[in-house]
């Protein structure tokens, strides 16, 4: 029995567990495998970026900017957070007008964003191709160690008294009069819910909502690809890098470079297991060397597509509560960019669970926007 039962031990589940526990709440977190075994764990680091983000998420990112630099102190754990700044590179004439407008909009939202000329770009990133015409620079953007932070959240929650249970998948809900009264684990254990359930199991959420409530979410599953190069010495990349038209994101991870940006793995039809695809690895590598020619000949040490992510049809998450389960908050469909805003979202989710009041910042993410 617990006041707050959380399903899923990724960044969101572990983060909300900590936010609730530090306010003295009685919390039970249930994770199907191990903490950070989903999208919030795995190879390299994650981008913590406002630059180029959907306008509806920018207020959350602005709040997250305040939390990231102090989170390691609050959790007494490493977060690997570094404020490297993000450069959105512009290579084509066609992209300049949009980027200028976007920069202005970001400034209005309180996200420091500068227009950087070709000469300035080359000063910041001397190894870039000469084809880069300009960039939008967000100096407050950076990177963080997602695996360490997620584990740090869970450990800090446990120290404050939260019960964190791994290897405990939730299979079903017990619902009476539109209130979730208990969650049922795969082992048949019944865990009574005294106040709220937080369904934060990411890729598991749509199937579970369909099974339990007959609700369809307009989302689909993706296997995003991330790669780490061999050791590169000296490191030619100084910032978190994005690109206006190439499918590319890059960051320095220690002495290796992480390359990603939207290439994908595929599920093996026989085993159901995610697998990397040679054409996707080669495509991502080719984009990276087109932008940083110095990387031609640098090998890929590791590629991974094992972490499932859910994409919403309009590219922003779904964070809501449904009348058929009125004491259950769910959040999913992070659409490949859910990591950066985690500290802000978990704070507001905990507020909502404790007070019953939804933050106005969550308004754009209602499920009803699709109906």
Ligand X SMILES: Cc1cc2nc3c(=O)[nH]c(=O)nc-3n(C[C@H](O)[C@H](O)[C@H](O)COP(=O)(O)OP(=O)(O)OC[C@H]3O[C@@H](n4cnc5c(N)ncnc54)[C@H](O)[C@@H]3O)c2cc1C
Residue 34 Cβ, how far from ligand X at the closest point, in Å? 8
Cα separation, 238 vs 173, in Å, equals 48
Query: Which tokens belong to 243?
Result: 């690109």
Single residue of 19, 309, 320, 347 touching ligand X by CB under 6 A:
309
Single residue of 147, 155, 201, 229 touching ligand X by CB under 6 A:
201
Single residue of 2, 39, 199, 325 touching ligand X by CB under 6 A:
39
Q: Which of 228, 187, 224 has its CA nearest to residue 202?
A: 224
Q: Is 303 in the site for ligand X (CB under 6 A)?
A: no
Q: Is 206 in the site for ligand X (CB under 6 A)?
A: no
Q: Is 95 in the site for ligand X (CB under 6 A)?
A: no
Q: Is 52 in the site for ligand X (CB under 6 A)?
A: no
Single residue of 25, 30, 58, 121 touching ligand X by CB under 6 A:
30
Single residue of 16, 28, 47, 68 touching ligand X by CB under 6 A:
47
Q: Is 337 in the site for ligand X (CB under 6 A)?
A: yes
Residue 204 Cβ, how far from ligand X at the closest point, in Å? 3
Query: Which tokens belong to 201?
Result: 């199991």
Cα separation, 6 vs 2, in Å, equals 10
Q: Is 84 in the site for ligand X (CB under 6 A)?
A: no
Ramachandran bin of 239, using left for φ above 0, alpha for ψ from -120 to 50, beta for the remaining angles: beta
Site for ligand X in 250-269 (CB under 6 A): 260
Single residue of 154, 340, 349, 350 touching ligand X by CB under 6 A:
340
Q: Which of these ranges, 37-45, 110-118, 133-141, 154-162, lies near ligand X under the rule CB under 6 A?
A: 37-45
Over the window 135 to 154, marking each residue x when it contacts ligand X by CB under 6 A and - when it does not, the resulting string is -----------x--------
Q: Is 86 in the site for ligand X (CB under 6 A)?
A: no
Give the N- to C-terminal CA distance of the chain in Å, as an integer.
35
Q: Is 236 in the site for ligand X (CB under 6 A)?
A: no
Q: Is 312 in the site for ligand X (CB under 6 A)?
A: no
Residues that bind ligand X (CB under 6 A): 7-13, 30-33, 37-40, 46-47, 146, 169-170, 200-202, 204, 224, 226, 260, 307, 309, 334, 336-340
């Amino acid at each position: 029995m617990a006041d707050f039962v959380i399903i899923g031990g990724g960044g969101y589940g572990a983060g909300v567990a900590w936010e609730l526990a530090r306010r003295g709440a009685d919390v039970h977190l249930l994770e199907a495998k191990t903490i950070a075994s989903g999208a919030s764990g795995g190879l390299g680091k994650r981008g913590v970026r406002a630059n180029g983000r959907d306008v509806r998420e920018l207020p959350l990112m602005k709040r997250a900017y305040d939390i990231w630099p102090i989170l390691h102190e609050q959790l007494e754990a490493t977060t690997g957070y570094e404020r490297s700044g993000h450069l959105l590179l512009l290579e084509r004439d066609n992209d300049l007008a949009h980027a200028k407008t976007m920069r202005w909009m970001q400034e209005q939202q309180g996200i420091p964003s500068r227009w950087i000329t070709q000469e300035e770009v080359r000063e910041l990133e001397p190894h870039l191709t000469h084809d880069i015409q300009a960039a939008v620079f967000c100096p407050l953007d950076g990177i963080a160690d997602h695996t360490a932070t997620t584990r740090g959240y869970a450990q800090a929650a446990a120290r404050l008294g939260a019960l964190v249970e791994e290897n405990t998948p939730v299979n079903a809900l017990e619902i009476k009069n539109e209130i979730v009264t208990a969650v049922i684990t795969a082992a048949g254990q019944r865990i009574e819910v005294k106040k709220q359930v937080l369904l934060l199991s990411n890729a598991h959420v749509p199937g579970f909502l369909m099974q339990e409530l007959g609700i369809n979410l307009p989302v689909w599953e993706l296997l995003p690809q991330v790669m780490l190069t061999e050791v590169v010495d000296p490191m030619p990349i100084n910032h978190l890098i994005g690109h206006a038209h190439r499918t590319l994101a890059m960051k320095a991870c220690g002495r290796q470079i992480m390359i990603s940006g939207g290439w994908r793995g595929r599920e093996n039809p026989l085993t159901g297991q995610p697998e990397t695809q040679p054409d996707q690895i080669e495509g991502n590598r080719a984009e990276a060397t087109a932008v940083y020619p110095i990387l031609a000949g640098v090998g890929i040490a590791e590629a991974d597509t094992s972490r499932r992510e859910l994409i919403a049809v309009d590219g922003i998450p779904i964070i809501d509560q449904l009348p058929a389960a009125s004491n259950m908050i769910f959040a999913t469909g992070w659409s490949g960019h859910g990591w950066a805003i985690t500290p802000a979202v978990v704070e507001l989710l905990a507020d909502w669970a404790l007070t019953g009041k939804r933050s106005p910042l969550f308004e754009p993410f209602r499920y009803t926007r699709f109906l």
